[in-house]
Structure 1
């Protein structure tokens, strides 16, 4: 583990094509602090500089989440309504409807309330810099390659 000014672990080049079949075969995971809400996803790339997760939120689900890091997301399919409560006092609230093709960001410390709209999962890419190393299965583990 690097200490002080010693070099930190470096990321390498990585490439991944979203695998819808692998995602649909991923296990449903209980979302902490949100009883009855389950999500599925897999870690597509996990480098020191960023973890990229392909993730589904299930139709009709509503939940809250607080970000411990900055996060960038891109909607692939499905729709959701989101309310984002911004730090430091959470009195500033931003509301948006997220649809396919939308890029959006959450700053560290933001709290969100999500409502998935429609009959299909809300599928999106999460870009989490630096990697929080969320414990999602890897693509290789889902496809028998690892």
Structure 2
């Protein structure tokens, strides 16, 4: 048989082999877990990169839309200012025209009032002449 020293060293070697085998198994398991983590990290990184690209695309699209809307808004504001100016000018013109019409109506009213007063005076004179006592109105056949 073998000597006790040899047997002891064989047992130590076998124990070391078992310990190393366990450690190798543990390291392989750790490596497998780390590889899985790495795979998940790569997948997550790819997903995030795709999301980033999508968001950049959306941001570019929104920036373009924003520029178009800003230009459109500026055009609408310019048109609104022009319309407001036109409306102010038209209103000013209407006010001036109204003032002129009011002046003309007042002048015509005064002129009409003068004519009515003159006609009323003539009517009063005519009544006085016609209804004055002792006035003789010739017949159609008579001459005065």
**TM-score band w.r.t. shorter chain:** under 0.3
Give the structure with higher Rg (CA): 2
More strand by share: 1
Q: TM-score of the superposition, structure 2-length normalised?
A: 0.12
Task: Give the structure, 1 or 2, with the largest relative contact order (CA under 8 Å, sep 6 or more).
Answer: 1
More helix by share: 2
Q: TM-score of the superposition, structure 1-length normalised?
A: 0.12
